[in-house]
Amino acid sequence: MKFLPSLIAPWALSRFGMLGMNERNRRYIGRYNPRSLFPLVDNKRLTRTTLSSADIPMAALIGVVDQQSQVKKIASLVEGHQGFAIKPSKGSGGKGILIVTHKDGDEWVKASGGRLTVEDLKRHISNILSGLYSLGGAADVALIESLIHQAHHFDDYTVEGVPDIRVIVCRGYPVMAMVRLSTHASDGKANLHQGAVGVGIDIATGEALAAVQHGQLLENHPDTGKHLGELVIPDWEALLVMASRCYDVTGLGYLGIDIVVDRDHGPLLLELNARPGLAIQLANNAGLLPRLRRLDKLTAADTRLPPEERVRRSREWFADESVFDKTVQPGVKLAE
């Protein structure tokens, strides 16, 4: 049996309530996300103006470069800022994001330790403008945001990158959440398919439920050895309310919301995703379908309740039990 890939029976998955790609596309994205609203999330500059008018906090904007002629002013633009991030407005999946932690002499230092000259910065921004990172190569603009400082809370749970919290919000109700922790394997990136650890978070409490890396359950962070079962997100309720409000602002009924917790400013919205992935179910060791079906039955009036009330209901409905301790995997090293 070793040669055959392991498979699970479709009825078993169905009993588990796993949401599949086809069903997500047709039932949830197709039904709840009108195509005309997609630019709101695919264009970060637009997301930013929409969300800031609704007072949803984001990382401070240092500047926008939208013409090649402005590229040479980059040095004066970031003058006085210790760290910053350069992002393509229409990039997806974290492509084209350059993070600078501080300046050292004439050079800037990246999160990974690499050094950049002013020419490197200019080239990167120029690439963004010509559409290197945008879908279909369309012309783009570069956003320069101030650096997010990791809350001390997460210090032992991650290497290099700041962990981000993904909340799925359906019709305004938070349904499922996870934290993505970067590892050496993921090269400091919080992308699950590149080897980051996904930790499912209980909607009711903000506590860790289960953790996966490369699709396998695990107990401890592979690099720091920290027991992931102890992870708790601070300010959980405020964070959920913030996620929930994104529905009212954008009108998108099936949203993936990425939030980071800043050392000084608390939860900040990172980006929105109109096609959130399915891996969150693995990190929670639970399927989305039973929860989504419950929300399918809501009336339009239910979706217009204040966000605080929606969060209260979600926390009541979607509480889950941790699988840590119950599923100690053979071969996983426990922390000393």
Residue numbers of the site for other proteins (CB under 8 A)?
5-10, 12-14, 16, 18, 20-23, 26-27, 30-31, 93, 95, 123, 126-127, 130-131, 137, 212, 215-217, 278, 281-282, 285, 327
Q: Provide the minimum distance between the beta carbon of 139 and other proteins in the complex, in angstroms, as a whole number.
A: 9
Q: Provide the minimum distance between the beta carbon of 36 and other proteins in the complex, in angstroms, as a whole number.
A: 17
Residue nearer to other proteins on the CB measure, 127 or 322: 127
Residue nearer to other proteins on the CB measure, 169 or 289: 289
Residue nearer to other proteins on the CB measure, 12 or 238: 12
Residue 68's alpha-carbon distances to 4, 97, 118, 122, in angstroms, are 53, 18, 15, 9
Residue 42's alpha-carbon distances to 38, 50, 174, 191, 255, in angstroms, are 6, 12, 21, 18, 12
What is the SS3 assignment for 237-306? HHHHHHHHHHHHHHCCCEEEEEEEEECCCEEEEEEEECCCCCCHHHHHCCCCHHHHHHHHCCCHHHHCCC
Residue nearer to other proteins on the CB measure, 210 or 246: 210
Q: Provide the minimum distance between the beta carbon of 326 and other proteins in the complex, in angstroms, as a whole number.
A: 10
Q: Provide the minimum distance between the beta carbon of 116 and other proteins in the complex, in angstroms, as a whole number.
A: 17
Strands (E), the chain: 61-65, 84-88, 98-104, 107-110, 115-116, 142-146, 164-170, 173-181, 197-201, 208-213, 216-217, 254-262, 266-273
From CA 257, how far away is CA 272, in angstroms rounded? 5
Residue nearer to other proteins on the CB measure, 52 or 303: 303
Q: Provide the minimum distance between the beta carbon of 69 and other proteins in the complex, in angstroms, as a whole number.
A: 16
Cα-based torsion angle of the residue sequence 253, 258, 262, 266 in order, rounded to the nearest 10 degrees: 20
Q: Provide the minimum distance between the beta carbon of 112 and other proteins in the complex, in angstroms, as a whole number.
A: 16
State whether residue 27 is helix, strand or coil. Answer: helix
Residue nearer to other proteins on the CB measure, 6 or 299: 6
Residue nearer to other proteins on the CB measure, 276 or 307: 276
Q: Provide the minimum distance between the beta carbon of 290 and other proteins in the complex, in angstroms, as a whole number.
A: 14
Residue nearer to other proteins on the CB measure, 18 or 255: 18
DSSP 230: G
Best CA proximity match to 280, nearest among 174, 204, 144? 174
Residue 178 region, left (φ>0) first, then alpha (ψ -120 to 50), else beta? beta
Q: Provide the minimum distance between the beta carbon of 332 and other proteins in the complex, in angstroms, as a whole number.
A: 14
